[in-house]
Amino acid sequence: MALRNTPTERQLRLGAELRKLREAGGLTVNEAGDVIGMGRVHLTHVENGRTAISAERIRTLCRTYGVTSSTYTEALVNLAEASGKGWWSDYRRQLPASALDLAELETEATCLRSYESLFLPGLFQVKGYTHAIFEASDAVSTDEEIEAAVRFRNERQRILTGDRPPEVHAVIHEAALHMRFGGADIMHQQLLHLVELAELPYVTIQIMPFTAVAVSALTTPFCHLTSHNGALETVLMEHPARSAYLHGEDEVAKYRHQFARLSDAALPAIDAAVIPVRHAARDSLGLVQHILYTLQGASA
């Protein structure tokens, strides 16, 4: 079997997990390979995500490494057996691999927690807002590339209306609500859509106000994803040059804690069911409504 030149994030993750387990179990590559009848070089390629491994061998390695969680073991098997093909495959020649990796990861996610400082989360964006972002971006240049990127982001949003939607919790800095991508009319449409999404029972949206205390406004945006029945966690740091996927236990714990701090500091979540006059204190919905009022005046 030919070696993969560019492993996907899923394939790299499987290899990294198997290497982590082997090292924690105190086995060398030679010793672990002997257990499953695989040579040192072959197993090294597996741990680097460059070649496949069977489900039977994964289960054998997990038993050898002392893994006691069947949920975790089956999560690794799922990573190995997944075809990597989905709706995102149609964009393989149009968009970078990092975008396809994110779409594949989101389809397996059971929980997404994100923090955004200048943009609204991609899963929440209306078409006009997304189009304006890509028009101003250096990541795409031609009209065809822009349209492909917009369609791709729109298709990603289907996980919110699918049969098994993930739990989504977003903390959005107030600055993102004032950035006028597409102008006042588009932003008015976008903020109304934000309120509509918050009505979904599995979507929680909080706004971090400029007045928040003890939380840096410069905190780097990130997304924390939980997948495979909670067995795997990933933190995505998106950058123009290259997105970074973090899954080390210490790294994940750091961002899990960071998100909890951000959520505690943010305003109470948008709840369109609460009658405005009964709001006991300033909340996320009240702030969004205030900005909507300002946008109405700007577009009048």
Per-residue pLDDT reduced to its tens digit, 87-115 = 999 999 999 899 999 999 999 999 999 99
What confidence score (pLDDT) does residue 241 get? 63
Give the model's confidence band at 277: pLDDT under 50 very low, under 70 low, under 90 confident, else very high: low
Query: What are the chain's domains?
Result: 9-81 (1.10.260.40), 87-299 (3.30.870)
Taking phi over 0 as left and psi of -120 to 50 as alpha, with beta for the rest, 207 belongs to beta
Looking from the CA of 143 toward its CB, the CA atoms found within 13 Å total 0
- Calculate the alpha carbon distances from 62 to 7, 9, 55, 129 in Å: 22, 21, 11, 46
| Cα dihedral 140→239→88→200 (10° resolution) | -110
Is residue 26 over pLDDT 80? yes
Q: In what order do the strands lie in the sheet with 222-227?
A: 203-208, 167-173, 109-116, 222-227, 232-237, 244-246
User: What is this structure's pTM?
Assistant: 0.92
pLDDT digits (tens, 9 = 90+) for 196-251: 999 999 999 999 999 887 676 557 899 999 999 899 999 999 876 678 999 999 99
Is residue 84 over pLDDT 60? yes
Give the model's confidence band at 47: pLDDT under 50 very low, under 70 low, under 90 confident, else very high: very high
Helix and strand totals (H; E) in the chain: 12, 6
Residue 12 has which token pair? 């790299």
